[in-house]
Structure 1
Amino acid sequence: MNREDLETYLHQQIPLSQAMGMSVRSVTETSVTLAAPLSPNINPKGTVFGGSASTLCILAAWSTLHTRLIDAGLPSEIVIHTNTMEYQRPIQGEFVATGAVSAEADWPGFIRTLESRKKARIEIEAELRCGDEAVGKFRGRFVAFLREGR
């Protein structure tokens, strides 16, 4: 899946992504990077609202799993099961989240389980940055349900 198709999909299927001003920066074989500007995500302190930061991370993690499964020929319904978000410092400008499969995750095992049981869980992480500075960390557990008649 390419950058433009993913951005269109997210804006149509998850309207909050468009309201946030979210854009897709890059889609690679292993990660998705999303960005959002400060202005529609600002809080009364003049920094990014924590909910917006968390949402961008969830979207980057979800999109990473979505694109990897599409590329593997395994289109699936994906839902978030649990997540944690660590806010390391205030965000005072455009913020960027990059999702990737957790280093501890067993991607081949996840795929085998998804194909055999039609359902599998995996952890996806996202790093949140503002400029050159790390400003947050996200970790989420997602459940994928293999679509019938793929």
Structure 2
Amino acid sequence: MREPGIPHPRLPLPLEGGEDDPASFLAWLGEAIPMVEHLGIRSMRREGGDLEWRLDLSPSLNDKGTGFGGALAAQTTLLGWCWTTLWLRRRGYERDVVVAEAGQRFLAPVTGDYRLVCTPEAEDGPERLAERLERRGKGRIALVQRLWCGDTLCLEARGDYAVLPAD
């Protein structure tokens, strides 16, 4: 059981040049952030610069039988945090990531299981983040999350994620 004010132990970094196993990362995430086990995440995969979750709608239902906006907003924010954390881990950084700013636009009701896709807002965003980390030891990146229910774009979110300096 997690205790307030006590950080959860970090997941060991992957071997140099390696990537995190998605299932292991999601298991750690569920321990580190207890609400994760209630989000309905079925799978996680990386494709190019994107990070994608597949989710079940049932844990996020509202009173109308569609996706609850608060749960969907939390999921988009957390997916951006995961994108940033995994990007750092592939480069050998053990850093804290925090969301600095987040917002969303709800475009259509979520009526079934769905996928969330996170990508950098600017194509050169990851390179700029790498430069800032090298030069200043901290940085920020803007990410966009899109929620698709079938072929329908239901939600578009944007967040700025800050990478804090090393301890």
TM-score using structure 2 length:
0.81
Matched, 1:63 2:79: no
| Distance in 1, Cα, partners of 2:138 & 2:162 | 7
* Runs of 4+, deviation exceeding 4 Å: none
| Distance in 1, Cα, partners of 2:101 & 2:39 | 22
1:23 shift after superposition: 2.9
1:1-150 equivalences under 5 Å are 1-103=20-122, 105-148=124-167
- AA in 2 matched with 1:134: L
* Structure 1, unpaired ranges of 5+: none
CA offsets per residue over residues 46-72 of structure 1, 9 Å max, x none?
Answer: 101001111221122111111111111
| Paired residue secondary structure (1:124) | strand
Residue pair 2:42, 2:56 contacting (<8 A) in 1 also:
no
- AA in 2 matched with 1:78: V
Residue pair 2:53, 2:117 contacting (<8 A) in 1 also:
yes
CA offsets per residue over residues 89-143 of structure 1, 9 Å max, x none?
Answer: 1111112111111126532221121123221111011111112211110110010
| Distance in 1, Cα, partners of 2:110 & 2:44 | 19
- AA in 1 matched with 2:131: R
| Distance in 2, Cα, partners of 1:71 & 1:29 | 13
Residues paired across the two proteins, number: 148
Higher strand proportion, which one? 1
TM-score using structure 1 length:
0.89
| Distance in 1, Cα, partners of 2:68 & 2:161 | 24
* Structure 2, unpaired ranges of 5+: 1-19
RMSD of the TM alignment (CA)? 1.6
